[in-house]
């Protein structure tokens, strides 16, 4: 049925010539769930789309692999390998690479959840969800960490690789880097919107820097409301495998959501 599809894809690949990763993908409505098992490590990737075309298991290109927690090439992709580390109980990198030519497209955002029983949850946890382009630098996209055992959640406007990290950087430094990235993205907005968006971010940053958490979050909420109202109009809001830079609205919304999380975390748990 087109209105409710449940499709399965079983993908296997070699890891160190021995371990096999099984990825079982089910799709229903605007959501997809990938059950992952490899060498005793189990996790679940859940994707909830705002709007999507051709959401089918084979169109998502989901794979997974175990990684070495001491791999120099991988550590070089982390923000600070002395403070952000791969948990030994979950050395798992998940890749989502939708193939071209399928008609797959997402609009606005996709909520990504990586759920595992391999990690213990505690309030104020330092587990974070990171995302990177293939071979690129990983950045924190977390907007929620919830129990069960650990559910790291984040929002993004596109794909491709995801890791759960233990992030011991100061929350203030994380907030600063997220503001830098978000302001750089907002600077790419059309001139008719750029000034307002940058001013809202400047107001939010000023409030955050002075410890006015509620005011900072309110300014970011206003920023998100304006971006949402312009998505698909003044701001491009579609990601496809062949047009990966077309979803500026989704990336702005995702960046603001992750900033709100970090500001709230500092308010509740300190730096």
Q: Taking the model in full, what pTM does it have?
A: 0.92
- The CA-based angle 94-96-97, given to 5 degrees, is 135
For residue 16, what pLDDT is reported? 34
Q: What is the model's pLDDT at position 11?
A: 33
Contact 113, 119 (CB under 8 A): no
- Tokens describing residue 179: 């503001």
pLDDT of residue 19: 52
Please determine, for residue 1, whether its predicted confidence score (pLDDT) is greater than 70.
no
- Percent of the chain past pLDDT 90, that is, above it, reads 92
CA separation for the pair 90, 75 (Å, rounded)? 15
Spatial CA neighbour of 47 closest among 60, 66, 65: 60
Mean pLDDT, rounded, for 235-239:
98
106 contacts 158 by C-beta, under 8 angstroms: yes
- The predicted-structure confidence for 80-137, as pLDDT tens digits, reads as follows 999 999 999 999 999 999 999 999 999 999 999 999 999 999 999 999 999 999 999 9
Residue 20 pLDDT grade (very low, low, confident, very high; cuts 50, 70, 90) = low
Grouping H, G, I as helix, E, B as strand and the rest as coil, residue 169 is coil
Report the chain's mean pLDDT, rounded to a whole number.
92
Distance (Å, whole) CA 84 – CA 134: 19
User: Which contiguous run of DSSP H or E holds residue 186?
Assistant: helix 171-186
**What pLDDT digit, counting tens, does each position of 146-195 carry?**
999 999 999 999 999 999 999 999 999 999 999 999 999 999 999 999 99
Q: Which residue is listed with tokens 């791969």?
A: 86
Query: Looking at the DSSP assignment, which residues form a beta bridge with residue 134?
Result: none
Neighbour count for residue 143 (Cβ, 10 Å): 22
Q: What confidence category does residue 21 fall into, taking pLDDT thresholds of 50, 70 and 90?
A: confident
Looking at residue 245, the DSSP 8-state letter turns out to be T
Would you state the structure tokens that stand for residue 48, as one six-digit string? 């909830």
pLDDT-derived band of residue 259, with 50, 70 and 90 as boundaries?
A: very high
For 224, residues 6+ apart whose C-beta sits below 8 A from its C-beta are 252, 253, 256, 257
């Amino acid at each position: 049925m087109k209105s409710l599809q449940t499709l399965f894809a079983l993908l296997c690949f070699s890891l160190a010539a021995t371990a096999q990763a099984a990825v079982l993908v089910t799709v229903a409505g605007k959501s997809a769930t990938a059950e992952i098992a490899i060498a005793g490590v189990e996790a679940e990737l859940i994707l909830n789309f705002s709007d999507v075309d051709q959401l089918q298991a084979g169109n998502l290109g989901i794979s997974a692999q175990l990684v070495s927690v001491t791999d120099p090439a991988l550590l070089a992709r982390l923000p600070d390998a002395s403070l952000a580390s791969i948990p030994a109980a979950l050395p798992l990198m998940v890749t989502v690479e939708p193939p071209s030519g399928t008609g797959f497209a997402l609009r606005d955002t996709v909520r990504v959840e990586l759920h595992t029983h391999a990690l213990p949850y505690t309030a104020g946890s330092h587990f974070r969800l990171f995302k990177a382009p293939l071979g690129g630098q990983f950045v924190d996209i977390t907007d929620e960490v919830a129990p069960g055992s650990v559910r790291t959640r984040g929002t993004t406007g596109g794909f491709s690789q995801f890791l759960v990290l233990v992030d011991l950087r100061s929350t203030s430094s994380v907030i600063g880097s997220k503001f830098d990235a978000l302001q750089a993205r907002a600077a790419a907005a059309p001139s008719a919107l750029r000034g307002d968006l940058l001013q809202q971010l400047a107001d939010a940053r000023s409030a955050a820097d002075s410890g006015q958490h509620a005011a900072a979050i309110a300014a970011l909420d206003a920023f998100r409301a304006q971006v949402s109202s312009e998505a698909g109009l003044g701001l491009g809001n579609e990601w496809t495998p062949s047009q990966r830079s077309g979803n500026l609205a989704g990336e702005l919304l995702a960046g603001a959501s992750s900033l709100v999380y970090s500001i709230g975390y500092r308010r509740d748990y300190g730096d």
